[in-house]
């Protein structure tokens, strides 16, 4: 590890999972210092973007702990109208890092060639020196390196599948998420994005947006908890809910 190397990892972390954690740990082991760009921070509480930026940052701290995070910086990023055949996105990211007077990244880490393409100009790419190291492919040009740790070889599901497991309340999601944030996800994932709970009595201490199907009613009837009370969902509106 060289103290002169500075890693960059970009992620949305909706939510952070073991794949993210492994990528960040590798970046820190190899470089010492890491900047995490947290994407799409202008969106939360909607499909594909359930958690707030603050929730995601808290989860990263819970996963790694204070000592690890001493050499990690997190910067918020928002979506921009960048084109596929330009390096607009990379210039936006690196500009944000420079404005915050953080060390200039020497190494970029990602999980796919598709995500890497935005950074070929700023770091290195397939036309440069290539080193294959197991699951990791490293492109090098001058003092810059671009690392691809193929996410398809890790055994972790895509983020969309992970969110689907959480939203369907399938406990399988816990296999792919660090245990340190299991409770944070259960408590913080937007209730209105998850399938309804079922039973014969309303749950205690419900969250705003929680859906519940009363199975002791004929027919079973859906309610949602809004503004501190349970509200019956009219049948004509039921089709837009899970």
Are 109 and 204 found together in one domain?
A: no
Are 111 and 24 found together in one domain?
A: yes
Write down the pLDDT at residue 154.
84
Q: Coil, strand, or helix at residue 223?
A: strand
Are 201 and 153 found together in one domain?
A: no
Mean pLDDT by 10 residues, the chain (242 residues): 82 97 97 97 97 98 98 97 84 97 97 94 97 94 96 88 97 97 96 93 91 93 93 65 46
Write down the pLDDT at residue 235.
63
Terminal Cα-to-Cα distance of the chain (whole angstroms):
49
Are 134 and 237 found together in one domain?
A: no
Q: Which long-range contacts (CB under 8 A, 24 or more apart) does 156-161 make?
A: 156/17, 156/18, 156/19, 159/12, 159/14, 159/17, 160/48
* Overall number of domains in the chain: 2
Range of the domain at 20: 6-159
Are 221 and 113 found together in one domain?
A: no
Are 143 and 211 found together in one domain?
A: no
Write down the pLDDT at residue 155.
85
Distance CA 119, CA 128 (A): 13
Write down the pLDDT at residue 240.
43
Establish if 183 belongs to a structural domain.
Answer: no
Write down the pLDDT at residue 77.
98
Are 229 and 150 found together in one domain?
A: no
Write down the pLDDT at residue 83.
76
Query: Is residue 100 classed exposed, middle or buried when 0-12, 13-18 and 19+ CB atoms within 10 A define those classes?
Result: exposed
Write down the pLDDT at residue 3.
52
Distance CA 71, CA 93 (A): 19
Write down the pLDDT at residue 134.
86
CA distance to 33, 105, 109, 228, per residue, from 70 (Å):
9, 17, 19, 41
Establish if 114 belongs to a structural domain.
Answer: yes
């Amino acid at each position: 590890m060289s103290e002169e190397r500075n890693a960059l990892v970009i992620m949305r972390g909706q939510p952070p999972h073991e794949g993210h954690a492994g990528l960040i740990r590798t970046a820190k082991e190899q470089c010492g210092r890491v900047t995490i760009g947290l994407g799409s921070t202008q969106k939360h509480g909607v499909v594909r973007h359930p958690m707030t930026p603050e929730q995601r940052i808290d989860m990263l701290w819970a996963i790694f702990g204070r000592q690890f995070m001493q050499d990690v910086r997190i910067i918020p990023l928002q979506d921009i109208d960048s084109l596929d055949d330009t390096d607009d996105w990379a210039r936006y990211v690196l500009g944000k890092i420079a404005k915050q007077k953080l060390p200039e990244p020497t190494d970029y880490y990602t999980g796919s060639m598709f995500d890497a393409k935005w950074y070929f100009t700023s770091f290195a790419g397939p036309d440069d020196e290539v080193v294959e190291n197991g699951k990791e492919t490293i492109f090098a040009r001058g003092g810059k390196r671009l690392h691809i740790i193929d996410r398809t070889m890790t055994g972790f599901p895509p983020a969309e599948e992970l969110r689907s497991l959480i939203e369907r309340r399938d406990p399988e999601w816990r296999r792919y998420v660090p245990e340190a944030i299991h409770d944070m996800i259960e408590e913080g994932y937007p209730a209105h994005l998850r399938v309804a709970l079922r039973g014969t009595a309303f749950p205690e201490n419900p969250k705003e947006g929680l859906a519940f199907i009363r199975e002791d009613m004929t027919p079973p009837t859906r309610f949602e908890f809004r503004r501190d009370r349970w509200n019956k969902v009219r049948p004509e509106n039921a089709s837009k809910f899970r």
